[in-house]
Amino acid sequence: MSSTWHILGPGSLGSLWACRLARAGKAVQLLLRDHQRLAAYRAAGGLTLVEAQQTTSFAIPAQCCDDSGPIHRVLVACKAYDAAAAVACIAPRLASDAQLILLQNGLGSQDEVAALVPQARCIFASSTEGAYREQDWQVRFAGQGFNWLGDPLNPAQPDWFGDLQDAGIPAEWTVDILTRLWRKLALNCAINPLTVLHDCANGGLLGHLDAIDSLCRELGELLEQAGQPQAAQDLAEDVQWVILATAANYSSMYQDVQAGRRTEVHYLLGYACRVAKRHAVATPALERLHQRLVDKLQARNLPCD
Ligand code: NAP
């Protein structure tokens, strides 16, 4: 199997992974959406990683998604709402033993991708690292964190996993990746939409603990019914801890709305509501929250799917 790391969507997290892998001497190939983006990338001469006081550039090769040549391993680093369409563009190039690492937040996009490429192995990732684009092709590593990777259909750790350690990417293989993704989704549902509706930093939610308690009760019940009891354990305590520990921070959803960017709500609160309906779990507080959020996004002319 080729050892090249293809990076589909070198935005914030994709660039962070690409630069660290390239720095460690791994073969990396960027996959860009079209020829215009490829020309812009080539004019810039490479990706730049800004870490603390250090700025380093990496002349990583790039090509378009619809270029030729087989792809054996690809990190899908698009937003959840773009992942399936982006993977559809590279699907004809995927080798029979292809492995996709899906970095998307929330749930739902992984199944959309897996349905498109049933022959490929789809590995799910949950990341707490933080990065943002300071400008095109330049990423700032803004928050140390960790990455959990796992495959709900196959517990075997892939043979390339050591590349992550070589590259200084903190990561662990887990057989419970769905538990991690569900827990993160539940924390997100209990915190992020309320920060948008109350126009506040995470700490501002300390004035709305009753609402958060109701949401946590419904989320706990939903997780139990959806076969994720571990993700439900001590959820309310964890939500309060996160609010206190990140009191001065603005949630990613809040930041997206403020910047007029599309949110990933369809794969977060929207996903929770869809699963609740499927399992016939009554979640009136989550439903109301979802509707209020959709109204707010529509009022700002932002997509709500
Ligand atoms: P981002 O900065 O917006 O980057 C997304 C990338 O996807 C861009 O390079 C974009 O290309 C590319 N893309 C979109 N559609 C494409 C297509 N059809 N073909 C090829 N490329 C395409 O996103 P991000 O912040 O890295 O987030 C990626 C995922 O990681 C999200 O689910 C997010 O929630 C999750 N996450 C992010 C962070 C973080 O700190 N950033 C932390 C944890 C989890 P263009 O540049 O051409 O638009």
Residue ranges per structural domain of the chain? 5-175, 179-299
Percent of the chain with pLDDT over 70: 99
Which residue in 121, 67, 117, 98 sits closest to 5, CA to CA? Answer: 98
How many angstroms separate the alpha carbon of residue 81 from the centre of ligand 1? 10
Residue nearest to atom 3 of ligand 1 (CA): 11
C-alpha pair distances (Å), 302 with each of 9, 256, 305: 22, 10, 9
Quote the tokens at residue 131. Answer: 């990065």
Residue nearest to atom 12 of ligand 1 (CA): 9
CA–CA separation, 60 vs 52, rounded Å? Answer: 22
The CATH code belonging to domain 179-299 is 1.10.1040.10
* Neighbouring C-alpha atoms within 13 Å toward the C-beta of 170: 8
Closest atom of ligand 1 relative to the 136 alpha carbon: 46
User: Which residues are identified as catalytic?
Assistant: 184
How many angstroms separate the alpha carbon of residue 285 from the centre of ligand 1? 30
How many angstroms separate the alpha carbon of residue 103 from the centre of ligand 1? 9
5-175 architecture in CATH? 3-Layer(aba) Sandwich (3.40)
Closest atom of ligand 1 relative to the 82 alpha carbon: 15
Task: Compute the mean pLDDT over every residue in the chain, rounded to the nearest whole number.
Answer: 97
Residue nearest to atom 38 of ligand 1 (CA): 130
CA–CA separation, 279 vs 213, rounded Å? Answer: 22
Closest atom of ligand 1 relative to the 32 alpha carbon: 20
Residue nearest to atom 9 of ligand 1 (CA): 11
Reported confidence tier of residue 28, pLDDT bands at 50, 70, 90: very high
CA–CA separation, 292 vs 285, rounded Å? Answer: 11
Residue whose entry in the numeric block shows the structure tokens 């399936």: 84
Which residue in 54, 60, 112, 51 sits closest to 81, CA to CA? Answer: 112
Residue ranges around ligand 1 (CB below 6 Å)? 8-14, 33, 37, 65, 77-80, 82, 85-86, 89, 103-105, 127, 129-133, 264
Best mutation site among 78, 93, 104 for ligand 1 pocket (most ligand atoms within 8 Å of CB): 78
Instruction: Check residue 33 and report its DSSP letter.
Output: S
pLDDT digits (tens, 9 = 90+) for 265-305: 999 999 999 999 999 999 999 999 999 999 999 999 999 98
Q: Are 219 and 239 in contact (CB under 8 A)?
A: no
Quote the tokens at residue 91. Answer: 């699907």
Which residue in 62, 55, 54, 52 sits closest to 14, CA to CA? Answer: 62
Reported confidence tier of residue 2, pLDDT bands at 50, 70, 90: low
Return the SS3 of 38: helix
pLDDT digits (tens, 9 = 90+) for 185-203: 999 999 999 999 999 999 9
Average pLDDT value for residue range 16-25: 98
Average pLDDT value for residue range 151-157: 98
> Given a cut of 60, is residue 137 above it in pLDDT?
yes
For position 305, what pLDDT does the model report? Answer: 85
Per the document, the length of the chain is: 305
Q: Are 87 and 169 in contact (CB under 8 A)?
A: no
Quote the tokens at residue 94. Answer: 């995927």
For position 40, what pLDDT does the model report? Answer: 98
How many angstroms separate the alpha carbon of residue 172 from the centre of ligand 1? 22
Question: Taking the complete model, does pTM exceed 0.95, yes or no?
Answer: yes
